[in-house]
Amino acid sequence: MNCIFCKIAAGEIPSFKVYEDDLVLAYLDINPFAKGHTLVIPKKHSEGLLDTDDETLAAVIQRVKKVAAHLKAKLGADGFNILQNNGEAAGQTVKHLHFHIVPRFGGASTEIAFANGKGDFGELEKLAAQIRIQG
Ligand code: AMP
Ligand code: ZN
């Protein structure tokens, strides 16, 4: 299957890994909304929320919690957003289930505004090493 996130899960394409276990992989988004913007995916392919089996989904959301807690503590974030897009109409560009964890820094925010940055690969490499969770 020609799926970029399956290729990342299989190690065929490199990623800035933050966490990995048998079922799940987490890595830095290369076009981050904020420092530490991380994607959490199941290694088993599904397109979005609705075609993912409940067992896999439970595993993924548990890891989202684990990684989010870790990022918040390690980066000193004041909060974080979880995003999960389904379908092109919702802005989904990669058709492999993924949860975005977006650390947020600063005071109270009543609006949710995101703008992609352009990731500096050297900085992403250092950041991934700094925040990586040893499995
Ligand atoms: P979505 O709009 O929810 O489908 O988000 C897909 C995300 O995947 C975007 O934020 C991209 O920056 C990110 N992305 C695409 N290719 C890669 C890659 N090779 N490594 C890390 N993140 C990626
Ligand atoms: Zn896939």
Span from the CA of 76 to the centroid of ligand 1 (angstroms): 24
**Per-position b or e across 13-32, b if 16+ CB within 10 A of its CB:** eebbbbbbeebbbbbbbbeb
Q: Is 2 in the pocket of ligand 1 (CB under 6 A)?
A: no
**Helical spans, DSSP H, in the chain:** 4-9, 54-75, 121-131
Condensed to tens digits (0 to 9), the pLDDT of residues 49-84 reads: 999 999 999 999 999 999 999 999 999 999 999 999
Mean pLDDT of 27-54: 97
Q: Is 30 in the pocket of ligand 1 (CB under 6 A)?
A: yes
| CATH number for the domain harbouring residue 123 | 3.30.428.10
Question: What is the total count of domains within the chain?
Answer: 1
Provide the pLDDT for residue 107. 79
Query: Whole domain around residue 89: which residue ranges?
Result: 4-131
Residue 25 CB contacts under 8 Å (≥ 6 apart), including other chains: 8, 9, 15, 17, 19, 40, 41, 43
CB 29 within 8 A of CB 100: yes
Percent of the chain with pLDDT over 90: 89
